[in-house]
């Protein structure tokens, strides 16, 4: 092999082993101008009690500098409840929740982001996006088909660090373990991958709350990318009117 080919092989290998470059590539491959899906959530709590919820989710913008909305469509006691999330590349997101039963919206304070979102095992913080530059990364292991990477937030977070498993062949998240100072908080697994408009997409996300011993499974239906969505859809006024 020539010196040039050896040099190129070295550069490619170095790129593959750089954890920040790996995460950047994950975000690049998942990027779309907009997204919409209809989600069904199955929440299994104590005593294996099952609750089912449905929501519609829409999103526009670049990764970490985006706006998203979700609105529950069922059951009747949560129908119309919604969230507006404005993500920023340099700080935590702005979040508002709309409660139609009391006719007002509520801004979610930073100190409340670790609480559960409306009976699911997602926290409010789990619903936001954070750009790669809001974390420090360390490559922990090359596990053959996957990389294991440690992620530590630079900004305020309920999590002290997380372990990320990324599949090498398509640069998709497979699993996340999120820890605070007391230990493991949540495990998030991504399953049932399919290509949607050229983007490898998990059709199922499972969240395990290790403290509550409960589980939420989110299944994605009618998922679409790069729809002609307008900014006017991502306002508090629009949130009150519903999707």
| pLDDT for res 12 | 45
Please give the C-alpha separations between residue 18 and each of 12, 22, 141, 153, in angstroms, as whole numbers: 10, 6, 12, 17
Residue 151: predicted pLDDT: 97
Domain enclosing residue 94, as ranges: 3-241
Total structural domains within the chain: 1
Number of H helices and E strands in the chain, helices first, is 3, 13
> pLDDT tens across 80-131, in order?
999 999 999 888 899 999 999 888 899 999 899 999 998 899 999 999 988 8
List, for residues 143-163, the tens digit of each pLDDT value: 999 999 999 999 889 999 999
Average pLDDT of every residue of the chain: 91
CATH number at residue 144: 2.50.20.10
Number of other residues whose CB lies within 10 A of the CB of residue 60: 20
Which residue in 131, 172, 132, 129 sits closest to 21, CA to CA? 132
Whether the predicted pLDDT of 223 surpasses 60: yes
- Please state whether the predicted TM-score (pTM) of the whole model is above 0.85: yes
In this prediction, residues 220-225 reach a mean pLDDT of 96
* pLDDT of res. 16: 55
């Amino acid at each position: 092999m020539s010196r040039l080919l050896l040099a190129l092989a070295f550069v490619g290998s170095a790129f593959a082993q750089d954890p920040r470059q790996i995460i950047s590539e994950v975000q690049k491959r998942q990027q779309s101008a907009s997204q919409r899906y209809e989600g069904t959530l199955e929440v299994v709590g104590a005593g294996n009690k099952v609750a089912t919820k449905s929501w519609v989710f829409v999103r526009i913008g670049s990764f970490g500098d985006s706006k998203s909305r979700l609105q529950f469509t069922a059951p009747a006691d949560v129908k119309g409840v919604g969230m507006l999330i404005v993500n920023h590349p340099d700080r935590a997101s702005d979040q508002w929740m709309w409660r139609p039963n009391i006719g007002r919206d509520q801004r979610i304070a930073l100190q409340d982001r670790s609480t559960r979102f409306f009976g699911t095992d997602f926290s409010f913080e789990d619903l936001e996006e954070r750009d790669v530059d809001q974390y420090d990364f360390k490559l922990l292991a090359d596990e053959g088909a996957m990389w294991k990477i440690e992620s530590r937030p630079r900004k305020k977070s309920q999590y002290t660090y997380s372990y990320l498993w990324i599949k090498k062949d398509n640069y998709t998240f497979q699993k996340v373990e999120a820890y605070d100072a007391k230990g493991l908080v949540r495990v998030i697994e991504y399953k049932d991958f399919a290509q949607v408009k050229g983007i490898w997409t998990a059709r199922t996300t499972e969240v395990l709350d290790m403290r509550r011993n409960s589980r939420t499974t989110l299944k994605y239906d009618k998922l679409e990318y790069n729809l002609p969505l307008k900014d006017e859809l991502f306002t508090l006024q629009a949130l009150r009117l519903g999707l």
